[in-house]
């Protein structure tokens, strides 16, 4: 399967992807192989259904939001390999010497996390959006009152301009002491 991936990906395309994402040649070939295995139709695109067949996403309470993030770049019902790998690049461990890669900077990781909560895409996290995501994460394990209290306290602490919503700048400020680089990193095999 690895040979098939290296035949279909041209050397110049692999080099472009390396420059865009910071992934190594071997990582790109392996990710392409994984992409192909998910592409059940064989048309070079993944649908939401293709993503939802990934067991880890199917059982993840935020699986739907994670899948949604792949489609934000495409503004379409399908994702090609380039769009797929650009989203994954945000989860590469951050290394100081690869700071030229804009996809896995602290800012991009935070922007990605922010979009998980910004359900309507208006660049603000409202109490209702925060509650909806909290429901996804904890299900029925916490009472409505407790969830409401968590949402209210979170907005109260993060909302610096008093509009009762969290903007991206307020989100960044609230996450200042969180090691996002570590928490939003996946080790990709070489």
Q: What is the pLDDT of residues 115-132, one digit of tens each?
A: 999 999 999 999 999 999
Do residues 13 and 80 touch, judged by C-beta distance below 8 A?
A: no
Domain with CATH 1.10.238.10 in the chain: 1-89, 91-190
Q: Any idea which architecture 91-190 has in CATH?
A: Orthogonal Bundle (1.10)
Q: Please, which pLDDT band fits residue 101 given cuts at 50, 70 and 90?
A: low
CATH 1.10.238.10 fits 1-89, yes or no: yes
Mean pLDDT within 7-28? 88
Tokens coding 29: 């070939």
Mean pLDDT within 184-188? 68
Name 2's Cβ contacts closer than 8 Å, sequence gap at least 6. Answer: 29, 30, 33
Q: Please, which pLDDT band fits residue 187 given cuts at 50, 70 and 90?
A: low
Q: Which of 4-18, 135-149, 163-177 has the lowest mean pLDDT?
A: 4-18
Query: Which is higher by pLDDT, 145 or 100?
Result: 145
Question: Model pTM?
Answer: 0.76
Distance from C-alpha of 170 to C-alpha of 173, rounded to nearest angstrom: 5
Q: What is the dihedral of CA 22, 74, 168, 135, to 10 degrees?
A: -110
Q: 137 in helix, strand or coil?
A: helix
Query: Which is higher by pLDDT, 59 or 127?
Result: 127
Mean pLDDT within 107-116? 89
Token pair 């928490």 is at which residue? 183
Mean pLDDT within 48-52? 88
Q: Please, which pLDDT band fits residue 74 given cuts at 50, 70 and 90?
A: low
Distance from C-alpha of 2 to C-alpha of 5, rounded to nearest angstrom: 5
Query: Residue 6: pLDDT above 50?
Result: no
Q: 34 exposed, middle or buried (CB, 10 Å; 0-12, 13-18, 19+)?
A: middle
Q: 46 in helix, strand or coil?
A: strand
Average pLDDT, the chain: 85
**Sign of dihedral through CA atoms 34, 38, 40, 45?**
negative
């Amino acid at each position: 399967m690895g040979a098939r991936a290296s035949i279909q990906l041209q050397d110049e395309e692999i080099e472009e992807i390396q420059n865009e994402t910071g992934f190594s040649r071997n990582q790109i070939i392996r990710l392409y192989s994984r992409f192909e295995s998910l592409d059940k139709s064989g048309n070079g695109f993944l649908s939401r259904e293709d993503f939802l067949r990934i067991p880890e996403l199917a059982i993840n309470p935020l699986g739907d939001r994670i899948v949604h993030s792949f489609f934000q770049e495409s503004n379409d019902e399908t994702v090609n390999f380039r769009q797929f790998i650009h989203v994954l690049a945000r989860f590469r461990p951050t290394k100081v010497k690869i700071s030229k890669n804009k996809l896995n900077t602290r800012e991009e990781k935070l922007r990605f996390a922010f979009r998980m909560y910004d359900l309507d895409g208006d660049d603000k996290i409202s109490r209702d959006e925060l509650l909806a995501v909290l429901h996804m994460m904890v299900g029925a394990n916490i009472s409505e009152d407790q969830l409401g209290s968590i949402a209210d306290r979170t907005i109260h602490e993060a909302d610096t301009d008093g509009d009762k919503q969290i903007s991206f700048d307020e989100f960044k400020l609230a996450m200042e002491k969180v090691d996002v680089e570590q928490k939003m990193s996946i080790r990709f095999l070489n």
